Amino acid sequence: MTIWTPIDDGYADLSNHDSFLAGPPENTFKRLRDHEPLSWTAFAGGAGFWNLVRHGDVFSHNRDFRGLTSARGIRMEDQTEEEYLARRTFQETDPPEHTKVRMRVAKAFSKPVIAGFETRIRELCDEILDVALAKPELDAAHEIARQLPMRLLGQIIGVPNEDLDWLVSKGDELIANTDPEYTEHVLDKADTEAFRLMPFRSPAGAELYQYAEDLITSKREAGEDTGVLGMILEPDEDGNVMPKHEFQNFFCLLVAAGNDTTRYSISASLHALANKPELHEQLYAGDDALWETAPDELIRWASPTRYFRRTATRDLTLHGKTIREGDKVLLWFVSGNRDERMFENPYAIDLRRHPNRHVAFGQGGPHVCLGMWLAKLEIRLLLQEFVKRVARVEQNGEHEYLRGNFVGGIKRLPVRVALR
């Protein structure tokens, strides 16, 4: 069993993106789980918020969309009603509205349908590894982890290969809008007022809006299959069609969330293999049972979506404190996935952990990740092909985390590999 030791001082400011530059502040979350399971954080960027950090609280309150709504935003930053309506996707809605939109595309991401992608995903893994492993030293985060979700995204939404790098870079500008490496308009450091009606308050939203419109128009004119994008534009059972701006926001969500979370799960997995060779050996010798459980454990370990915010629709009393109607409440998935009350040895990577009731996908609630089955399949196939080819992998330089407390992970991972 592979044990890791957290390093933060236990008193990190959870509203500060810099608190996550060395990874999640695990000691802070442990202190809160043990001594203050409902805590208040003052926020320089707006109204303060409550933190729920225990697995049981995160799981149960993620289900309570009547008491804790998504329909006022899912990040800690405040929004006006105008901004919310302009920027929202189905993530920022509650049932039944959320369910209606979700059902339009749910079949395309169902487990049986996703299983049909296995051959093509394995081919993509081979193509990526052929290039990345042609040299003994590489940045595994950029040359492997970034590549697979990006190329698969192209397959799913049907964009030309030559557009993919641009598309993912724009997605980075959106969801990584707190990291100066990815955007000039850093959310907490620059004036983003001019873009307040754009997704993630980023000008990249306007470029993606136009790209989405041009893409769907060209496909229809050419008589091509419009795939997932066409599904979302189909009328619902009442004959209603998604408004143009909501379709554009959905496209931005697909580009950003459909790439980054899987990418950071893969980079966390490769970082683990590079630092704990016993994990590499276990995967190489792994039977079907191990490969069934390993992806979930590595996703639990990565927890790339750090939190989702909800807003209280009524007064709630929890752990002896009162959450007032209108208060923001953050569900810290990353903390729930380290909770000793649910997981034995939570700071260990146990590739055979079962059951594994992690909450990395928002399980249990109506907003559970649509791409859950796809993410697990990508991770399994990529790692299967990686350990087949690589006899040894070791980190040979400092890794770097994304600056951000919403979605996060390792963005740079220098490694040295020896092939079999």
The overall average pLDDT reported for the chain is 92
What per-residue confidence (pLDDT) applies to 231? Answer: 79
Q: How confident is the model at residue 235 (pLDDT cuts 50, 70, 90)?
A: confident
**Residue carrying structure tokens 């044990």:** 3
Q: Are 342 and 55 in contact (CB under 8 A)?
A: yes
Share of the chain above pLDDT 70, in %: 99
pLDDT at 240: 78
**The token pair that represents 372 in the structure block:** 């859950």
Average the pLDDT over each of 14-28, 94-108, 114-128, 222-236 and give the range with the smallest value.
222-236
Q: Please state the rounded mean pLDDT for residues 225-253.
A: 80
Tens digits of residue pLDDT in 181-218? 998 888 888 777 877 887 777 888 888 888 888 888 88
Residue 75 tokens, joined:
């990040």
Contact 179, 403 (CB under 8 A): yes
Q: What pLDDT, on the 0 to 100 scale, is given for residue 34?
A: 98
Structure tokens at 130: 């052929």
Is residue 281 predicted with pLDDT exceeding 70? Answer: yes
DSSP codes of every residue in 41-65 = E--TTSS-EEEE-SHHHHHHHHH-T
**pLDDT digit string, tens, across residues 254-273:** 888 778 889 999 999 999 99
pLDDT at 163 over 70: yes
pLDDT at position 1: 43
Judged by phi (left if over 0) then psi (alpha if -120 to 50, else beta), residue 398 lies in beta
Q: Report the distance separating Cα 24 and Cα 303, nearest Å.
A: 9
pLDDT at position 99, please? 92
- Region 160-172 average pLDDT: 88
Residue, of 158 and 133, whose pLDDT is higher = 133
Rounded alpha-carbon distances, angstroms, from residue 14 to 330, 400, 419: 10, 19, 41
Q: What is d(CA 34, CA 13) in angstroms, rounded to the nearest whole number?
A: 17
Burial (CB < 10 A; 0-12, 13-18, 19+), residue 231, is middle
What would the pLDDT profile of 284-299 be if each residue is shown by its tens digit? Answer: 999 999 999 999 999 9
- Whichever domain contains 260, its CATH number is 1.10.630.10
**Cis omega (within 30 of 0) on the bond before 355?**
yes
In this prediction, residue 14 carries a pLDDT of: 98
Between 38-52, 63-77, 158-172, 247-261, the lowest mean confidence (pLDDT) is in 247-261
Separation of first and last alpha carbons in the chain: 24
Tell me the whole-structure pTM to 2 decimals. Answer: 0.94
Overall number of domains in the chain:
1
How much is the average pLDDT of 163-188? 88
| 124-133 mean pLDDT | 97
Cα gap 178→407, rounded to integer Å: 10
Mean pLDDT of 121-133: 97
Domain of residue 168 covers 2-419
Average pLDDT over residues 54-73: 97
Q: pLDDT-derived band of residue 104, with 50, 70 and 90 as boundaries?
A: confident
Answer whether residue 227 shows pLDDT above 80: no
| Tens of pLDDT, residues 359-418 | 999 998 999 999 999 999 999 999 999 999 999 999 999 999 999 999 999 999 999 999
Confidence of residue 3 (pLDDT cuts 50, 70, 90): low
Give the number of other CB atoms < 10 A from CB of residue 41.
Answer: 15
pLDDT, tens only, 6-26: 789 999 999 999 999 999 999
Spatial neighbors of 265 by CB under 8 A, at least 6 apart, are: 298, 299, 302, 304, 375, 379, 409
